[in-house]
Structure 1
């Protein structure tokens, strides 16, 4: 594959821009819902774990099994399995809207595990000191656990965002829109290698920007 032989005039840059916008919309909306659902799920996993504030072995085992089951499903299979649910939720299984529910279902359990791991890194002495001062469970979570784990939570959000970029690309398999859909329809099905190269470069740039922004936020949070 020699770039000098590519016919760049075959690329519709307006389509590339629209596909990039669709990818950013899918990423932003799905990341927001992933954090909204995954954060409390991760906190609950942590609290139900051994030697924690709400330690409950059966409940932790059940919740852990559900999270692991969702995480173990390959995303492409999850896209197909969730089509009936997606149609009921958003009225379609294709396009940007049709891609968001499976993106959230695929990423939320992953993010929850990262949240649980970040909370486990918090010094147990901080929790015990909060209990000694008479803090309620809600106060311990919001004023001790989450602030202390903030750098780890930001790092978890960054990893999840990067993972969602790859998920948005895979959603093109079922016509999910975005750069992945463009790469499959033109780069793969129509053998337009130029389109494939441009979409891959766009995804690489997006991942790099997300990682740089995430690293910057983690460093700032760690200094406070």
Structure 2
């Protein structure tokens, strides 16, 4: 049974790693794009902002279990299979990117507009403002948002077990539900609580550290 737990957490870690990577790699640029094309910013564009924002909102409005089922054909087309942790990662990526993008946008909105205006008055280009002002100033909020995203993705990954995605959810369903082994279900819940607490603790420390660096 111990081997089953180890395998389940390796699979969950794999799914979480893939989804987190793409959430950062795509979510950060997308969040920045949403912010700099909003009203009052240097690349203001209502049409583009509206299209991008509406698309993100549509994806975010779908319950994850529905998104999971909808993307089964895409996972099969990309990977040749619709089962396993890698295939389940496809839906996690689609859930994580818009979720984190909105949190990045929210963190950027917390940046003092006076700092942005000061950079513009000094002749800084939009790209330099993004790299040297917006991202450093919003780093603390972005880390806090990433912490929330990772924890949400961890919860989503457990649902992937319902369609053969493997991981913790699959273990809980196969043993805790179908075989009525309540001790497995309880152990899974306790371990998940511990993992969530660890992720939150690390995220909080990194966020506070980034905030202190901005203050100094």
Residue number in structure 2 paired with 1:6: none
Shift of 1:53: 1.5
Counterparts of residues 79-98 of structure 1 (less than 5 Å): 79-98=68-87
- Quick one: which of 13, 18, 21 aligns to 1:29? 18
CA distance in 2, matches of 1:90, 1:206: 29
Secondary structure at 2:115's aligned position in 1?
A: helix
CA RMSD of aligned residues (A): 0.9
Residue number in structure 2 paired with 1:184: 173
Q: Does 1:125 align with 2:120?
A: no
Residue number in structure 2 paired with 1:220: 209
Could you list the per-position Cα deviations for residues 58-80 of structure 1 after superposition, in whole angstroms to 9, with x for gaps in the alignment? 21111111000000001001011
CA distance in 2, matches of 1:89, 1:202: 32
After the TM superposition, which parts of structure 1 deviate over 3 Å for at least 4 consecutive aligned residues? Answer: none
CA distance in 1, matches of 2:96, 2:83: 19
CA distance in 2, matches of 1:95, 1:219: 37
CA distance in 2, matches of 1:107, 1:167: 10
- Quick one: which of 62, 71, 94 aligns to 1:73? 62
CA distance in 1, matches of 2:78, 2:37: 30
TM-score, with length taken from structure 1: 0.93
CA distance in 2, matches of 1:199, 1:91: 30
TM-score, with length taken from structure 2: 0.96
Secondary structure at 1:130's aligned position in 2?
A: helix
CA distance in 2, matches of 1:205, 1:22: 18
CA distance in 1, matches of 2:96, 2:24: 9
Could you list the per-position Cα deviations for residues 88-127 of structure 1 after superposition, in whole angstroms to 9, with x for gaps in the alignment? 2222211111111100101110101100000000011111
The answer to whether the 8 A contact 2:14-2:86 is kept is no
Gaps in structure 2 of 5+ consecutive residues? none
CA distance in 2, matches of 1:14, 1:165: 20
CA distance in 2, matches of 1:108, 1:158: 14
CA distance in 2, matches of 1:82, 1:65: 19
- Quick one: which of 176, 197, 201 aligns to 1:208? 197
Gaps in structure 1 of 5+ consecutive residues? 1-11
CA distance in 1, matches of 2:127, 2:79: 33
Shift of 1:144: 0.5
